[in-house]
Amino acid sequence: MLSLIVFLHAAVQAGTPLLFATIGEIVTEKVGNLNLGVEGLMLMGAVGGFMAGYHSGSPLVAIIVAALTAMIGGWIYAFLTVTLRANQVVTGLAITILGTGISGFLGQSLVGEVLPKSFTNVFKPLSIPILNKIPFFGHVFFNQNLFVYLGFIAAILLTVYYKYTRLGLNAKAVGENPYAADANGIDVSRYKYAHILLGSALCGLGGAYLSLVYIPAWQENVTAGRGWIAVALVIFSMWHPSRAILGAFVFGGLDIVGFRLQELNISISQYLIDMLPYLVTILVLIFNSVRKDFVAGPKALSVSYFREER
Amino acid sequence: MFRISKRAEMKRTHQGLVRIAAILVSLVAMSGWIVAIGHNPLMVYKAMLDGCFGSTYRVLETIKYTIPLGLAALGVMLAFKMKFWNIGGEGQILMGAFAATYFALNFSDMPKTALLLLMMISAMIMGGLWSLIPAIFKVSFGTNETVFTLMLNYIALKYIIYLQYGPWKDPMAFGFPKIPNFSDNAILPKVFGLHIGWIILLLATVVVYVIFHHTKIGFEIAVIGESENTAKYAGMTVRRTVMKAVFLSGGLCGLVGMIQASAVSNTLTFELSSGIGYDAIIVAWLSNMNPMMVPLVAFLFAILSQGASFIQTAFQIPQSAAEIIQGMILIFALSAEFFIRYKLSLVDRSAKGGQHA
């Protein structure tokens, strides 16, 4: 029982970068833009945040720079797909290639470097009084670091945003039917830009969590495919930010299950266990596409909007 | 301000000019960036070209990299033309190499030609099957193929690592994790100092061109790419066409794996592909889905990659600079599409107001 609690506690931490990236991609897809550049945006956030943190020593600066770096990538994506109406799939791939390159390039001199002490202090576990006394779940969810809580809060805020605010409802309308939204006086391009930028910033924070808190040292290609898993998790959570929390933590668990099994002296090759997250992602994809009540996401997803085609 | 309107189809030569302009613009943008990191762009470009063409050996190396890139791009194109986003080239290459290696290691005493053919066919089938899995789910349930093919890349990679560190590890390699080298029988012969992969690439280019322009399946692929509904109304069996074309797509990538394992690394390693499956997507896209363009574009790309690894040693510019450049070229090429499809015209607001008055 105790070891299960420890495992789940670790799973929440491993799942946090996935949570940020997943809700980031949800925000992007809700306005009708499929951004396959999540992996690249995460890497940009990871390297931007790490560089800023390494040089400034300030966690706040690191987080802000991480979000901004990823937003540069997000802006390129938005300019290409919204203004120039380029193919979203290929543009996303371009962003991934670019982001991987940028992180490799900037990170070259940082490999193996460690962040200043201020980071471990700021991101040490903070217990939330009362809530952390809940049996079992108290330790799992409420004995975490600041960044993890930030993820919970972001997911919950987004849920509220899409359910109850005018802006959120308008954003959904843009993703469902941009022509109708436009006719209702919603500035489609502006909504798309704003949400793509917000989504990229969240993806960047997901990457920054890896380089600033989870590892916390610089290593090449720190995301290792998590950005792609996030794209799948969007489908898993059926475009609901709150459901992304569950998905992210399940996959966080899969991410670390290998180490735990080794500790239990179960002799399966590490390399085969490493396949698990990817295998389960595929199973989730299949499961979701087979089920009858499955919502296929925003109706205008990955279709460019051109007013004159109305 | 500006008014955007759709253009009637642009002339082919003009399209070509716009694309060339895009590449030039990205070269200029790159130069700015090279200056920013403190080098002279002309020197860097010169060194890159030197790294690709400075000696016969280097020219051969550049072509050697063109072969897998071009073949994989042709493979990817077969799927992309239907808007089936196969980004699983990487995994299909590895699985093809895996099948070829199985025969190379276990049937090494077969006659050379028979063994090589067996390796090629098995690699194509294995690569094809690996891509067929997502295709079957796509046509049956609409399962997202982009993420599916990508996840299969990681699974293939982990599997090859597992083989290399586990069951297939060479017991004679003093504990070093490598798979045994192929016997001479399993290595592709050379023509003009270069393994016959280049002939395979040229053949495959023609074959894919013929498929696209002179066969029923090629026509169906094009129609499905334009609109799946049109294809259905026209009475095409979309399901079967998609599966066939994706099988071919993965098959070509599988063949790449066989060529790389046999002729380049002489064994199977998990680093065998190292991104070819992804670069192939860019090559396919920059070729504008035209197979005849692929060898040329792949060659230009090979120059970029070879050049980048050369300037790494010459200027201490990290290899990842190549990725940035590739990403930038792709971004500019994507932007160029806009000017091919749409027309920008200046709208004089005051004149418009005058009409109403």
Q: Does A237 touch chain B (CB under 8 A)?
A: no
What is the rounded CA–CA span in Å between residue A202 and residue A196?
A: 10
Q: Does A272 touch chain B (CB under 8 A)?
A: yes
The three-class DSSP label of residue A213 is helix
Q: Do B285 and A90 touch (CB under 8 A)?
A: yes
Structurally, how many domains does chain B consist of? 1
Between residues A158 and B308, the one the model is more confident about? A158
**Cβ neighbours of A239 in B, within 8 Å:** none
What is the rounded CA–CA span in Å between residue B73 and residue B286?
A: 10
Q: Taking a C-beta distance cutoff of 8 angstroms, is the pair B329, B23 a contact?
A: yes
Q: Torsion over CA of A177, A183, A186 and A188, rounded to 10 degrees?
A: 50
What is the rounded CA–CA span in Å between residue A62 and residue B183?
A: 54
Closest CA to A219 of A123, A120, A110, A119: A110
What is the rounded CA–CA span in Å between residue A211 and residue A45?
A: 9
Give CA B154 to chain center in angstroms.
17
**Cβ neighbours of B87 in A, within 8 Å:** 93
* Closest residue in chain B to residue A84, using alpha carbons only: B338
Give CA A5 to chain center in angstroms.
24
pLDDT higher than 60, residue B288: yes
Q: Taking a C-beta distance cutoff of 8 angstroms, is the pair A89, B85 a contact?
A: yes
Choose among A98, A101, A272: nearest Cβ to B162: A272
**Cβ neighbours of B289 in A, within 8 Å:** none
Q: What is the pLDDT of residue B354?
A: 41
- Is residue B11 in some structural domain? no
Residue B217 buriedness (CB in 10 A; 0-12 / 13-18 / 19+)? middle
Q: Å from A97 to nearest chain B CA?
A: 5
- Give a three-class secondary structure readout of chain A: CHHHHHHHHHHHHHHHHHHHHHHHHHHHHHCCCCCCCHHHHHHHHHHHHHHHHHHHCCHHHHHHHHHHHHHHHHHHHHHHHHHCCCCHHHHHHHHHHHHHHHHHHHHHHHCCCECCHHHHHHCCCCCCCCHHHCCCHHHHHHCCCHHHHHHHHHHHHHHHHHHHCHHHHHHHHHHHCHHHHHHCCCCHHHHHHHHHHHHHHHHHHHHHHHHHHHCCECCCCCCCCHHHHHHHHHHHCCCCHHHHHHHHHHHHHHHHHHHHHHHCCCCCCHHHHCCHHHHHHHHHHHHHHHCCCCCCCCCCCCCCCCHHHC
- Is residue B343 in some structural domain? no
pLDDT digits (tens, 9 = 90+) for B39-51: 888 888 888 888 8
- Is residue B53 in some structural domain? no
What is the rounded CA–CA span in Å between residue B277 and residue B271?
A: 12
Choose among A76, A108, A286: nearest Cβ to B143: A286
Rounded to an integer, the average pLDDT of B204-219 is: 92
Residue A251 buriedness (CB in 10 A; 0-12 / 13-18 / 19+)? buried
What is the rounded CA–CA span in Å between residue A298 and residue A300?
A: 6
B108: confidence class by pLDDT, cuts 50, 70, 90: confident
Q: Is the dihedral of CA B146, B152, B158, B163 positive or negative?
A: negative
Q: Å from A136 to nearest chain B CA?
A: 33
Q: Do A101 and B320 touch (CB under 8 A)?
A: yes
Our CA angle for A298, A303, A309, nearest 5°, is 120
Type of residue at B232: K
Choose among A86, A278, A289: nearest Cβ to B141: A289
Q: Do A232 and B141 touch (CB under 8 A)?
A: no
Residue A130: DSSP 8-state: T
Backbone angles phi, psi at A114, to 5 degrees: -115, 150
Q: Do B142 and A286 touch (CB under 8 A)?
A: no
**Cβ neighbours of A98 in B, within 8 Å:** 323-324, 327-328, 331
What is the rounded CA–CA span in Å between residue A159 and residue B184?
A: 62
- Is residue B159 in some structural domain? yes
Tokens 């929390």 found at: A245
Element (H, E) at B344: strand B342-346
Between residues B203 and A295, the one the model is more confident about? B203
- Is residue B43 in some structural domain? no
- Per-domain residue ranges of chain A: 11-294
- Is residue B351 in some structural domain? no
- Is residue B143 in some structural domain? yes
Choose among B142, B152, B161: nearest Cβ to A271: B161
Element (H, E) at B38: none
The three-class DSSP label of residue B4 is strand
What is the rounded CA–CA span in Å between residue A304 and residue A87?
A: 8
What is the rounded CA–CA span in Å between residue A220 and residue A107?
A: 7
Q: What is the pLDDT of residue A161?
A: 96
The three-class DSSP label of residue B343 is strand
- Is residue B284 in some structural domain? yes
Segments forming the whole domain that contains residue B102: 64-298
Choose among B141, B146, B326: nearest Cβ to A89: B146
Our CA angle for A188, A303, A80, nearest 5°, is 70
Q: Do B326 and A101 touch (CB under 8 A)?
A: yes
What is the rounded CA–CA span in Å between residue B65 and residue B323?
A: 16
Q: Which residues pair with A50 in a beta bridge?
A: none
Type of residue at B14: H
A233-246 per-residue burial string, b: 16 or more CB within 10 A, e: under 16: bbbbbbbbbbbbbe
Q: Per CATH, which fold does A11-294 belong to?
A: ABC transporter involved in vitamin B12 uptake, BtuC (1.10.3470)
* Closest residue in chain B to residue A232, using alpha carbons only: B147
What is the rounded CA–CA span in Å between residue B89 and residue B130?
A: 10
**Cβ neighbours of A97 in B, within 8 Å:** 278, 282, 323, 326-327, 330
CB contacts < 8 Å between A and B, how many? 135
**Cβ neighbours of B26 in A, within 8 Å:** none
Question: How do the pLDDT tens digits run along chain A, 310 residues long?
Answer: 668 888 888 899 999 999 999 999 999 999 999 999 999 999 999 999 999 999 998 999 999 999 999 999 999 999 999 999 998 988 998 999 899 999 998 988 888 888 888 888 888 887 788 787 887 777 778 878 888 999 999 999 999 999 999 999 999 999 999 999 999 999 999 999 999 999 999 999 999 999 999 988 888 888 888 998 899 899 888 899 999 999 999 989 988 887 777 677 666 777 888 888 889 889 988 888 887 666 667 888 878 888 776 5
Q: Does A3 touch chain B (CB under 8 A)?
A: no
* Closest residue in chain A to residue B5, using alpha carbons only: A308
Q: Do B334 and A100 touch (CB under 8 A)?
A: no
